[in-house]
């Protein structure tokens, strides 16, 4: 790798893996730095949501395909359990002073860096009245993903699926908490999860409570078409969730179209939590001298990948909320900008 031009990729989730593969295919040596003990990040938690043997384009397969490709790639050096402690500029190059597990110090000097540090899930406790952690049958979409990934579709047999409510926009679209943006992916993953539940338990009655449903994105039209008519869509958000009779979850909501106040009970409530910047995003921005947008994501130039710091690029959800497929596409764009930058320095 010493004969190749080099770049560092910070973050080993799907965007970091895709950027690393793209750079390696273009003859760039890659130093891939991941703070966890394994690659994958949030994408590694996505379960397969195929229904009737037909793919729902959730992106889980894309992640696994990219991970296998990375294992075969030449010119990519992976450093797990490694995080950046300090960043210095040295004659136009970036010195990354890192610390590995057990306190081992590492140093890398590169002309360019792609930040692909991903996102954090918004805590369901952001909506305290929804009773997460207090009511046993209130879970998050992430919890449901984990159950399905860990136990397969048999997990559906263990869930109370008589009546199911999906509550959208939990934590995002919330100006009071500084998150007025749409997380983009919540409607998509919730609709797909609902179809998985419905396939396992066709008798289940499933309702969606929403402000509106986000139907953009190249993978959304098919999902929305399949879901339309299959579920009850309620234009109204619930208020306080409380323990109902026989262990059910009860809440009131107002139908936006009719203005009626309705109280209804459900066997299971799934909170569709959104995406927010990682807790360490501000620290990383300070280390690299980056700006953050009003929501805390890394700010970029109009091309969407170049930061205001020469040689530093952003890929995936650290720049804005995205699906797995969209994060891959954005990572390719960041890699292209990085290659052009490196070529201009040759």
Mean pLDDT throughout 192-202?
94
Per-residue pLDDT at 200 exceeds 50 = yes
Report the C-alpha gap between 231 and 295 in whole angstroms: 32
Task: Give alpha helix (H) positions in the chain.
Answer: 14-25, 60-72, 141-151, 186-200, 220-227, 281-288, 324-345
Residue 1 lies in a domain: no
Report the C-alpha gap between 226 and 50 in whole angstroms: 12
Domain co-membership, 208 together with 319: no
- 230 closest CA partner among 262, 264, 192: 192
Domain co-membership, 259 together with 290: no
* Radius of gyration for the chain, computed over Cα atoms and rounded to the nearest angstrom: 22
Per-residue pLDDT at 1 exceeds 50 = no
Per-residue pLDDT at 214 exceeds 70 = no
Domain co-membership, 268 together with 132: yes
Q: How many Cβ atoms sit within 10 Å of the Cβ of residue 120?
A: 14
Domain co-membership, 58 together with 91: yes
Mean pLDDT throughout 135-145?
94
pLDDT category of residue 102 using cuts at 50, 70 and 90 = confident
Mean pLDDT throughout 149-177?
88
pLDDT category of residue 57 using cuts at 50, 70 and 90 = confident
Domain co-membership, 171 together with 219: yes
35-47, pLDDT tens digit by residue?
Answer: 999 999 999 999 9
Domain co-membership, 20 together with 152: no
Domain co-membership, 140 together with 103: no
Report the C-alpha gap between 64 and 87 in whole angstroms: 32
Residue 191 lies in a domain: yes
CATH number of the domain enclosing 157:
3.50.50.60
Range 50-74 burial, b when 16+ CB lie within 10 A, else e: beeeeebbbbbebbeebbeebeebe
Weakest-pLDDT range from 27-41, 176-190, 212-226: 212-226
Q: Which of 274, 289, 321 is the last residue of a domain?
A: 274
Per-residue pLDDT at 3 exceeds 70 = no
Domain co-membership, 111 together with 127: no
Mean pLDDT throughout 40-56?
91
Number of separate domains in the chain: 2
Domain of 152, in residue numbers: 122-274
Domain co-membership, 257 together with 282: no
Domain co-membership, 318 together with 192: no
Domain co-membership, 148 together with 262: yes
Contact 162, 265 (CB under 8 A): no
Residue 142 lies in a domain: yes
Residue 80 lies in a domain: yes
Higher pLDDT, 174 or 260: 260
The share of the chain scoring above pLDDT 70, in percent, equals: 94
pLDDT for residue 2: 52
Per-residue pLDDT at 217 exceeds 90 = no
Domain co-membership, 15 together with 103: yes
């Amino acid at each position: 790798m010493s004969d190749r031009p080099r770049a560092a990729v910070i973050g080993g989730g799907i965007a970091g893996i895709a950027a690393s593969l793209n750079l390696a295919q273009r003859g760039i040596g890659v130093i891939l730095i991941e703070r966890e003990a394994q690659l994958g990040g949030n994408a590694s938690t996505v379960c397969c949501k195929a229904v009737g043997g037909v793919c729902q384009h959730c992106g889980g397969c894309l992640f696994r395909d990219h991970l296998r490709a990375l294992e075969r790639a030449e010119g990519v050096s992976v450093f797990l359990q490694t995080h950046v402690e300090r960043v210095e500029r040295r004659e136009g190059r970036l010195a990354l002073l890192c610390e590995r597990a057990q306190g081992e110090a590492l140093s890398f000097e590169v002309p360019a860096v792609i930040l692909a540090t991903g996102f954090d899930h918004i805590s369901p406790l952001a909506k305290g009245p929804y009773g997460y952690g207090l009511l046993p049958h209130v879970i998050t979409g992430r919890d449901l993903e984990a159950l399905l990934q860990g136990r397969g579709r048999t997990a559906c047999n263990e869930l109370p699926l008589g009546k199911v409510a999906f509550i959208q926009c939990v934590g995002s679209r919330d100006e009071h908490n500084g998150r007025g943006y749409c997380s983009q992916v919540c409607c998509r993953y919730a609709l797909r999860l609902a179809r998985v539940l419905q396939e396992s338990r066709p008798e289940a009655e499933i309702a969606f409570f929403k402000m509106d449903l986000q139907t953009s994105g190249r993978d959304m039209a098919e999902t929305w078409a399949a879901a339309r008519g299959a579920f009850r869509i309620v234009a109204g958000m619930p208020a306080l969730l409380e323990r109902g009779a026989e262990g059910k979850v009860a809440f009131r909501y107002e139908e936006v179209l009719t203005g009626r106040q309705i109280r209804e009970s459900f066997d299971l409530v799934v909170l569709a939590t959104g995406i927010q910047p990682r807790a360490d995003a501000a620290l990383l921005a300070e280390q690299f001298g980056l700006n953050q947008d009003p929501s805390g994501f890394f700010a970029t130039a109009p091309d969407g990948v170049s930061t205001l710091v020469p040689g530093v690029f952003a890929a995936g959800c650290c720049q804005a909320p995205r699906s797995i497929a969209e994060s891959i596409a954005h990572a390719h764009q960041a890699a292209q900008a990085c290659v052009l930058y490196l070529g201009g320095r040759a």
